[in-house]
Amino acid sequence: MPSTPDPTEFERTALPHLPDCFAFALSLARNAVDAEDLVQETFLRAQRCFDQFEPGTNAKAWLFTILRRLHIDRHRRARVRPGYQPEEELEAFAVRNDPDPGPPEIEGVSPTDVLAALEEVPEAFRVAVRLRDIDGFSYKEIGRVLGVPPGTVMSRIHRGRESLKAVLVAWRDERVGRRPSAAGGSGASHEASR
């Protein structure tokens, strides 16, 4: 029986991140076929450029950067921008509340609800929140992946979390037959029930 060859350094470094790359591609492309194509193209390009990868650095961030750039290039070739909007316009989508120290935690909302609601958040915010809260990247790594300064990353994450929270509160209130509250679901009635 012939033995299988030992995996290459590229395979040992990149292949463990294949599921995460597909999930990220799916969040960008929003359909499985395009996401599969993006991942395939990402791994082909990564293999061709593997000599440029610095061992010991974050391989997942390196792959995500390649993937995101390929996604943008596809849209440029098709003369369609992937949801680009200036920061001022994106602010209109965000709910203005006090700063949120982490991902929204809303009673009666499941992790599946959070992932579904994240799809309702504008792309620039959605990608930043996903990279931080789902994929666990640091602000600096997210900045490298997105090509923006860390301050912009923090702003997008905050605004994305606020938008996500607003969607989740609206969904929860809709399920239980409540009218949306002006305080974003953290009103006095909730405090009184404790």
pLDDT at 85: 52
Domain boundaries, the chain: 10-77, 89-179
The answer to whether 45 touches 66, Cβ cutoff 8 Å, is yes
pLDDT at 1: 61
How many CA atoms lie less than 13 Å away from 92 in the CB half-sphere?
4
Integer Cα distance of 159 and 46 in angstroms: 32
Q: What does CATH list as the number for 10-77?
A: 1.10.1740.10
Of 13, 15, 33, 19, nearest in space to 135 by CA: 19
Hey, which CATH number is domain 89-179, 3.30.413.10, 3.90.1150.10, 1.10.10.10, 2.60.40.10? 1.10.10.10
pLDDT at 183: 46
pLDDT at 172: 80
Q: Which residues does the chain have with pLDDT short of 50?
A: 81, 92, 94-101, 182-194
